[in-house]
Structure 1
């Protein structure tokens, strides 16, 4: 089987996966994944919920092993930062938690404190450095989640929906940080729905469906366009299915308490009207200038959507 990304020089290889399979019980959630991750590149994983993106990220991180196949790491060990989709509201303060994380990573205290101040400032969290995280909102917790993974400039940074819960300013600042890490040689692999993030930083986009990589495309082959993110609550599964079939839809992510849509901007008014007429409520509407990944050309709407548990 061909390995995605074979064209680059061997010296830049960080992680190689060959024919990797992951089985939980009787369910095969990853099928014959072959992939190379290179120093200083960014890979975006795109696919519907349940397509295997989160499992692939955990496998790249070494948090779960392939049931069969191989995972090879350059030099036998990498410094890896991992951002899970959900981060718990710990009783520590950000300062306590992040300095402890930096110590585990082997960072010197003075260097860690200086870097921590910079991250907290860039993400608008400096005034909350000594507040217990049990009091934080989801967006605030996500910022701490990101900082713990990025401190020390890891070799490999794995991000599961990194923009989830972040306001526009925080998203812009995070993008700036990620670009800097990438220029410094950090490889980034991210599960993402936002076209703008893909346009600004991704070198390759891998489309996943049913636990397989079914398509790989380079950034230059994506289609530019204008999209809008709509976050909503209160729709039943049949209403969500009807909306997913709208020709203006680009992507749909279903969370435990909400739905996140990415739609072509010209369809926003019609979709908002359909959502409200179906009994839903709108949480936010955020225009995004950037890439319009043509998911509709690559996969058909799923018969049912579940939370991304794999």
Structure 2
């Protein structure tokens, strides 16, 4: 198995509302896989299924068995009130999981060093900034030396410095051969950290490989804009060749692979729908198309 997790034709609904419909997704080892999409599109549901927190209604999720993978999960919402020091909190969480106390203390010392929190080890978490709290929550997910780290909107609500610190941390974790699956909408994180981008739209997944080296570096994109969005308001984003079908509110772009993730993220944030995504050198039947 050349993937660490493999979702095969997975579906999930809540109260008869379809959230994910026949979704297939392969998560490669030692890479960062990003999940993007509009609010309510099913991103968190997908992460919880990958982490084994909830089960799919149909399909199957296969995990690497040799060696078996260990999964750490970082939820979107950081606990508001944690009346502990980082050391106390991490010992508590490790003890719940049955980790040997002697080994656990050494592991916590190592994590505090990696996350640059050694000097705050005896400071109450309630006094921490949101960025520092986020680091502690990530640390608890890594107590068992996780092979796969699942993170739901890890940069949400962080100031610019905290975002930059966390981006550097993610790059460092990636270099240490930890696989990461995360949801996010920050363009910089998608461009600089993610190896693979997966867009959830209409209960399905569209995959974009974030590879810079390519013999034909242009992608063809077609978006349909909602009526509430002005085309003029998007001109600061569109810096490439374009055609506009005013009647159907379609915008067609030829963009570099380097800029594809940024453009897709910007348009999705404004409620646009992807109607076509295709490398220009591909044959017509290999296009993702949804007119």
TM-score w.r.t. length of structure 2? 0.69
- Kindly provide the CA deviation profile for residues 7-65 of structure 1, in whole angstroms up to 9, marking residues without a partner as x: xxx3x321111111112121111111111112101111111101110000000000000
Is residue 2:215 matched to residue 1:220?
no
Structure 1: runs of 5 or more not aligned: 1-9, 224-240, 251-262, 267-288, 304-310
Aligned residue number for residue 113 of structure 1: 108
Structure of greater Rg: 2
Whole-Å Cα distance in 2 between the matches of residues 208 and 42 of structure 1?
A: 17
Q: Distance in 1 between matches of 2:230 and 2:150?
A: 31
When the two structures are superposed, what TM-score results if normalisation uses the length of structure 1? 0.66
Root-mean-square deviation (CA, aligned residues, Å) is: 3.4
1:80 aligns with 2:71: yes
Residue in 2 aligned with 1:64? 54
CA contact (8 A) 2:187 2:265 kept: no
CA contact (8 A) 2:131 2:162 kept: no
Equivalences, count: 238
What's the offset of the Cα at 1:134?
4.3
Q: Does 1:294 align with 2:285?
A: no
Q: Are the equivalent residues in 2 in contact too, given 1:196–1:290 (CA < 8 A)?
A: no
Describe the SS at the equivalent of 1:92: coil
The separation in 1 between residues aligned to 2:198 and 2:29, in whole angstroms, is 17
Residue 144 of structure 1: how far off its partner (Å)? 1.9
Q: Give yes or no for contact 1:42–1:202 (8 Å, CA) kept in 2.
A: yes
1:129 paired residue number: 121
Question: For the structure 1 residues 94 and 299, does the alpha-carbon distance in structure 2 shift closer, same or farther, using more than 3 Å as the test?
Answer: closer
The answer for the alignment partner of 2:168 in structure 1 is: 176
CA distance in 2, matches of 1:99, 1:34: 37
